[in-house]
Amino acid sequence: MKRALEPIDRVSEVLFGLIMVLSFTGSLSVAEAGREDVRTMLVGALGCNLAWGLIDAVFYLMGCLAEKGRELANLRAVREATDPGHAQRLIADALPLVGSVLEPAELEAMRLRLKQLPEPPARARLGRDDWRGALGVFLLVFLSTFPVTIPFIVMSDAVPALRVSNAIAVVLLFVAGYAFGRITGRRPAWAGTVMVVFGAFLVGLTIALGG
């Protein structure tokens, strides 16, 4: 079964959620913050990630629909092509890496098999995996809020709570960067360190711009 979300998508969504919640916790002035300020920050962080989780899930579904529509158009073009050579080029273009090493006879075999398929649907439709992927996007963005906000929930003093929260955020950013490094073939520890620095920069930029 096809994965609803690829590993790189999961890492990206977690990073997105972390950056969003850190823009709230980082803007809290612990020297002056009371319980009401902390509560307002928590509500804002949870609400923001809830909203962006929904928005990101919708964008994910739009991307799935666009990709399916493009694949459907390519399939129709191959099936309706009167020139076998043109159909073979369409197949090769749709598979840039694989198509570059396929022989004309192999492309022709693929063309014939595509012509033998049942008539494709009139328009692209979302499938179960697409909806599962959208749910995964929403949950990753929203749930990534909680580890960073838990210290503010269980600790009454905002100063140590912020320190623990920042420590958790650094660990999560490093883990996400480490996973990104492994997926992309980079040095995981180096990628994790860069992600911590990059995340801190993005958070600072977001706060400076009033985000």
In tens, the pLDDT along 170-198 reads 888 898 889 888 888 888 899 889 888 88
pTM of the model: 0.75
Calpha distance 185→204 (Å, rounded): 28
Give residue 176's pLDDT.
Answer: 87
In tens, the pLDDT along 122-154 reads 888 898 889 998 998 898 888 888 888 888 888
Comparing 143 with 6, the larger pLDDT belongs to 143
Half-sphere exposure in the Cβ direction for 8 (13 Å, CA): 5
Half-sphere exposure in the Cβ direction for 17 (13 Å, CA): 31
Output the CA angle 47-53-54, nearest 5 degrees: 95
Give residue 2's pLDDT.
Answer: 47
Calpha distance 211→198 (Å, rounded): 17
Comparing 57 with 203, the larger pLDDT belongs to 57
Name every residue whose Cβ is closer than 8 Å to that of residue 162 and which is 6 or more positions away in sequence: 25, 28, 30, 151, 152
Mean pLDDT, the chain, whole residue set? 83
Give residue 66's pLDDT.
Answer: 92
Calpha distance 98→119 (Å, rounded): 25
Helix, strand, coil share (%) of the chain residues, nearest 5: 80, 0, 20
Give residue 166's pLDDT.
Answer: 82
- Mean pLDDT, rounded, for 13-21: 81
Calpha distance 115→89 (Å, rounded): 15
pLDDT higher than 70, residue 32:
no
Q: DSSP readout, 33-49?
A: --HHHHHHHHHHHHHHH
Q: 6: helix, coil or strand?
A: coil
Which residue is it, tokens 């599962």?
Answer: 132
In tens, the pLDDT along 47-74 reads 888 888 899 899 999 999 999 999 999 8
Comparing 22 with 209, the larger pLDDT belongs to 22
Calpha distance 40→128 (Å, rounded): 37
In tens, the pLDDT along 73-129 reads 989 999 988 898 898 889 988 887 787 788 889 888 988 998 888 888 888 889 888
pLDDT higher than 70, residue 211:
no
